[in-house]
Structure 1
Amino acid sequence: MASGYEACYYTGVLGWVWGRVHAAMERRYRSLAGIGTVLELGAGHGQHAHFVKHPFDRYVASDLRAELVRIPEADPRFQVASVDASDLSQFGDGTIDRLVATCLLVHLPDPYAALGEWRRVLTDGGHATIYVPCEPSWLNRTARSGFIWPRARRHGAEDPELLAYQGHQVHYPAMRTFIDRTFAGDDVSRTRYPVPGLPWNLSLFEIVHVRKIGPQSEGN
């Protein structure tokens, strides 16, 4: 990803907004207990870990570009790992108590297969928190063309629209279907932002909360 594009999203107003996104993803888990291992996929520069307030024994901040991940210093519970979010074979079945994925599903070549891996590694009763952009909603396209593209160009990104859509090739209805099929029978809830309850086409993103109920269902 171009440095100008990253600077656009991680500084200034958009940086503040992304902080609120991370906080929203964690809001319902503040009093969560009994968490052994947290696996964050696509951790990027490690922003999300700072918003996790519930107790845990181990936090694995993973990314294909593990060298970019920054974790809280002097805390032995944190570790960085190079992990392909579509292949979690290094983790056994039912070994992860909580899985976190921020703006990752939309980038994967086979998101349905990846979701099956995500569910496989969750313990029974384990939690998954998945950020899903409402791609390509009217509100998203309007916000990007009116604010994000010009800002990214000011930060040195040559063609931010091309960069965005090279990465975001999976549309929201597909992601919703893949999540529904993968976690059929589990406890799944959704909240859309910035106004809960509006259709996806009038939303920017959705946070999906999953609690795995039991063994892997047939066909997943």
Structure 2
Amino acid sequence: MHSEDKAWIEYREKFSEIYDESNYTSPLQSFVMRASHKLVESAYGKASHFESVLEVGAGTGEHVNFVRHAFDQYTLTDMDQKTLEVAKIKIGKRHEGRLKFETQAGNDLSYGDNTFDRLIASHVLEHIYQPHLALKEWRRVLKNGGVLSILIPTDPGLAWRLGRHLGPRKNAIAQGIAYDYVMAREHVNSCNNLIAILRHYFPGAKESWWPLPVPSIDLNLFFAFHAIVNKREE
């Protein structure tokens, strides 16, 4: 086995154990990551209500803590069962009876058409090969008028590359992770390409950036996108 393949396998095996430590341990890194979750949830406050919500690639369950709107059922999915086990422990009894945890591949969901009122993909789309097909799948499971909410990092923008060098890269290397190699395997889609795809499939969607309200990949760290699905035109 090549050393780079071994590094990748070891990283994936430890992912559920090291993800929170890598991203939420240092005060600065924790602040930035939490700001990203707040960004994508700022569009919907306590006055909003979604009956059924699906989160794709929920990982260790961090994002649900930032959801402000009401919901009847919230389903957290991830292809890694171990991360969902961590999520269950982290979330505990909050939202008791309204949360479900299910192992699902983000680009191949087992749910029927028109199932959910909102779908959230936070820090997910940059990891998926053939993202345009994943978007079609996510659109499929949303009801007419449902909301597709996506958050992506501005990788490889200037601000993102600088921030990564100052923060998570150092933390990961300290844990023995081959960070540059892993990120090359993880972030397979660039932000500018993903934005072009999103705008093509969902014209007129609401967009926001952080930390600056300027539509620039190089000056920001995160990009949020909310599209209302219209299936009546089909």
Tell me the TM-score normalized by structure 2. 0.83
Q: CA deviation at 1:79?
A: 0.7
Which residue number in structure 2 is paired with residue 213 of structure 1? 230
Of all paired residues, the percent bearing the same amino acid is 28
| Preserved CA contact (<8 Å) 2:209 2:223 | yes
Q: CA RMSD in A?
A: 1.9
Q: Mark the runs of 5 or more structure 2 residues left unpaired by the alignment.
A: 1-10
Which residue number in structure 1 is paired with residue 81 of structure 2? 66
Distance 2:231 2:181 in 1: 41
Over 3 Å counting, the alpha-carbon distance change for 1:110 and 1:175 in structure 2 is same
| Preserved CA contact (<8 Å) 1:120 1:216 | no
Correspondent of 1:29 among 44, 61, 75: 44
Which residue number in structure 1 is paired with residue 62 of structure 2? 47
Correspondent of 1:80 among 86, 95, 101: 101
Over 3 Å counting, the alpha-carbon distance change for 1:117 and 1:58 in structure 2 is same
Distance 1:77 1:142 in 2: 39
Aligned length, in residue pairs: 213
For residues 180-202 of structure 1, give each alpha carbon's deviation from its aligned partner in whole angstroms, at most 9, with x where no partner exists.
22224xx4111111111142122
Which residue number in structure 1 is paired with residue 24 of structure 2? 10
Correspondent of 1:190 among 183, 207, 212: 207
SS in 1 for 2:50: coil
Tell me the TM-score normalized by structure 1. 0.88
The question of 1:179 aligning with 2:198 is answered: yes
Q: CA deviation at 1:150?
A: 2.1
Q: Mark the runs of 5 or more structure 1 residues left unpaired by the alignment.
A: none
Q: CA deviation at 1:32?
A: 4.8
Give 1:145-156 correspondences, 5 Å limit. 145-154=165-174, 156=175
